[in-house]
Every structure is written in structure tokens, then in C-alpha cells.
Structure 1
């Protein structure tokens, strides 16, 4: 009878633990995306391209895409997009005051579209997206890398 009671207690404790883990709040893609969007918005440096770029759009979506669009003063538009699951690595060149973030993918996974260019509209593929940043610390870059890696692993 004692063995039966012990087995019953173990089974009950396991069931309760499984129930608690089922309803725990693991970090979700929305949290990672929110952090990335906030970081890129805060640290984007339009002044690096102010002479050429009229405006830009940089979005990290909840369905796991990075979309970067630049509108040039001459009417040309460049659009870059890649699925965050294809993220391979990143590199930052510059100082904490100003620099460029290179987001690299596993292969030719970055969609590049050019509109209203003198050479015509061009669709191609690339292996990286370059984002100008300012006022960013090494810790912020580490958090960006962590969040991209976590999204890639989901």
C-alpha cells in the first residue's frame, strides 16, 4: 500500500508540475520583435544618409520579417527584406557614436528591389542588409544579436 501511495504522490506532483509549465509565460516572438523594433528605431542614424535619403521605413514584423525601405531625394526607392529565421550573423563597424550594422543571412536570402532607378526597376538577392546606427553601446548590440538568434531558433 505504501508503494501505491508513493507512486500516486509522484504522479500527482508530476501532473501539477506539467500543468504549471503549460501555462507559464515563455518569451515569445512578439517580445523579441518588440525589442528589435525599439532598438532600431532609437538608434537609427538618418544623418549618415541625409544628403541622399528623404525618408526611410525600418520594420521588424511579428511574423518574423525585417523590412527596410529607403526613399531617395531623386525619386529612387530601395527595398530590402528577409525572414529573420535566415539570420546568420551580424557585424558592427564604427564607434559607439556612429556606425553601420551588417545583418548577414545564411545565403542569398535578402530580397532587394529598386524602383524608379535610371537603370530601370531591378529585383535581386543579397546576403546582407546594412543599417546605419548611432549612440549604441556594445551591450545593446549583444541584446540585438541575442534576440535575432532566439527568433532564428524558433
Structure 2
């Protein structure tokens, strides 16, 4: 009888855990991407860019890319892009009020393109992307890292056969 009671308790406990997990709301890739985009938009620092930069675009897309484009007053354009699944690590150099976020990739995974430059159009690859940010607290940096890691984990899970 004790064996039956123990098995019954284990079964009920397992069923209860499954019930609780069924109603949990794990964060999806789309939510992580949206949060990453909002953080970059809210904390981007125009003042660190030279006076020659007319405008910029910084987008995190739903298909898992980070794209950063700078337009200069002289017509030159710099374009940087990398697939979020290639994220390796990040560093932040600066203070709470102003600094630069270095996003490192696993290899030469950052596409770098320059248009209308004096030396001509240049296509190359890099291992990091540098984004000027302001008003960054440790929680904001942890949020960026967590979102990038969640996206990486989801991509790895979806790629397994």
C-alpha cells in the first residue's frame, strides 16, 4: 500500500508541475528582438558621433539581424550588419552617462560596407560592432546581454535536427 501511495504522490506532483508549466509564458524571440530594439533606440547617443554624421539607422530585425547605418554630410554611407545568432560576447567602455558598446561575434561575421567614399566603395568583414550609447545602467547592459543570449539559444534549438 505504501508503494501505491508513493507512486500516487509522485504522479500528482508531476501532473501539478506540468499544469503550472502549461500556463507559463516564456519569452519568445520576437519579444527579445523587440526589447533589444527598444533598448538601442532609447539609449543611442548622437552626441558621440562626429558633426559629419547627418543621420543614422539602428535596427534589429524580426529575421534576426542587427543593422547599423550611418549617413555622413559628404554623402558617404557606412553600413554594418550581423546575424544575432553569431553573437559571442559584449563589452561596454564608458560611464553611466556615455560610452560605447562593443558587440563581438564568433568570427568575421560583421558585414562592413562603405559607399561613396573617397577610396571607393569597400566591402569587408569585422569581428565587432561598436554602438555609442548613453544613460546605461548595469541592468540595461544585462538586459542587452540576456536578450542576445536568448536569441542565440532559440536559434540553436531551432537548428538542431
**TM-score, with normalisation over the residues of structure 1?**
0.86
Runs of 4+ deviating beyond 4 Å: 6-24
CA RMSD of aligned residues (A): 2.2
1:94 is matched with which residue? 94
3-state SS of paired residue (1:26): coil
Deviation at 1:50, TM superposition (A): 4.2
**Relative to 1, partners in 2 of residues 1:25 and 1:52: Cα closer, same or farther, differing over 3 Å?**
same
Deviation at 1:7, TM superposition (A): 8.2
Deviation at 1:138, TM superposition (A): 1.3
**Relative to 1, partners in 2 of residues 1:15 and 1:88: Cα closer, same or farther, differing over 3 Å?**
same
Structure 2 unaligned residues grouped into runs of 5+: 155-161
**Relative to 1, partners in 2 of residues 1:95 and 1:17: Cα closer, same or farther, differing over 3 Å?**
closer
1:103 is matched with which residue? 103
Q: Distance in 1 between matches of 2:117 and 2:22?
A: 53
3-state SS of paired residue (2:51): coil
**Relative to 1, partners in 2 of residues 1:139 and 1:12: Cα closer, same or farther, differing over 3 Å?**
closer
Q: Distance in 2 between matches of 1:141 and 1:37?
A: 13
Deviation at 1:25, TM superposition (A): 2.8
2:82 is matched with which residue? 82
2:65 is matched with which residue? 65
Total equivalences in the alignment: 154
Q: Distance in 2 between matches of 1:38 and 1:144?
A: 10
**Relative to 1, partners in 2 of residues 1:20 and 1:139: Cα closer, same or farther, differing over 3 Å?**
closer
Deviation at 1:26, TM superposition (A): 1.8
3-state SS of paired residue (1:92): strand
**TM-score, with normalisation over the residues of structure 2?**
0.83
